[in-house]
Amino acid sequence: MSPLLPSRRRPWLDDPGHIHEETPPPPMPDEQEQLGPDETLATSPVRTDSAGREMVHEARGPDQEPAGVPDLNEVDVPEELAGQIRAAMARYPQKLSASIPALWAVQKRYGYCSPEGIRQAAAVMGVTPGHLQSVASFYDLFHLEPQGAHEVLVCTNISCWLRGGDDILAAFKEAATPIRSTPPAGTPGDSAGEAEQPPDDVLVRGFECLGACDIAPMASIDQRYYGPLEAGDAAKVLEQLRGGGEVLPEKRLADRRVAGGEDAQEIQAPSGPAGEGASDG
């Protein structure tokens, strides 16, 4: 024992006064003993999406078998989707590694990871829907509910924020706000005298980092990078998306020339150390 501490004293065992202040709760009854012979204990409530459809889950009672793998012969899987998933599986030594590409293919086809799409992917991969559901619910870019036909992700991390990323995001949100109009007098059901049009089909949200600091402030628009952006670009982008036109071709990262492209000037290195062999002029 350290000579600096008094004999028979252990300060780390002393109650600091806040650990045991609350009265411990009474013991919970054993719920299993309260169930009848034909009853099971539900592990989670039934979850539904915004359209009222039951979401994929694997809640099972204690005496039930876990959810199985859907039979491919009993699931109607689009041929194109099945081919994309099998191609992804062929790239990995273990089929579970293809979960993300499979879910991405589902989302590309249906607009989100729908319960039926997840079941289709599970049947092709030979895994349970619950496994794919858990992967889809973990990653931010997968959607478990229907989203807009177009997606705008505005970067709000440090580089874009310093160059006005928050203003860009606000401009996109304002441009995507549902249009309100004044209906004719006497229109029933709207005491305020305004009628809200159906929401826009463009999903706009901020994103922590998109890894393109060199073109800050920037955004990902339908999975393509654009920048540097200005607040005035927001209305133009949404107009182009709605009209099916080409989006900001002058600011599309994919169209930028890379170093050493057609316009690069050829640089000739000296033929020897310290420029030996160069012309004396």
**Domains of the chain from N-terminus onward:** 72-138 (1.10.10), 150-180+197-254 (3.40.30.10)
| Degrees, nearest 5: CA angle 82-83-85 | 65
8 A C-beta contact, residue 142 and residue 102: no
Give the global pTM. 0.58
Residue 189 is predicted with a pLDDT of: 44
Count Cβ atoms below 10 Å from residue 102 Cβ, excluding itself: 29
**Per-residue pLDDT reduced to its tens digit, 7-65:** 565 555 555 555 455 555 555 545 444 444 454 444 445 555 555 655 554 445 556 66
The tokens describing 224, both together, are 């393509």
Residue 263 predicted with pLDDT over 80:
no
- pLDDT for the residue 45: 52
CA dist 228 and 106 (Å) reads 31
Q: Which two tokens stand for residue 57?
A: 């889950």
Instruction: Tell me what pLDDT residue 185 has.
Output: 44
Quote the pLDDT of residue 103.
97
The pLDDT mean for the chain works out to 76
Q: 186-215 pLDDT, tens per residue?
A: 444 443 333 344 445 888 999 989 999 999
Token duo for residue 156:
């709000």
Cα separation, 128 vs 117, whole angstroms: 13
Phi, psi of 62 (to 5 degrees): -65, -25
Can you tell me the distance from the alpha carbon of 26 to that of 155, in angstroms, rounded to the nearest whole number? 49
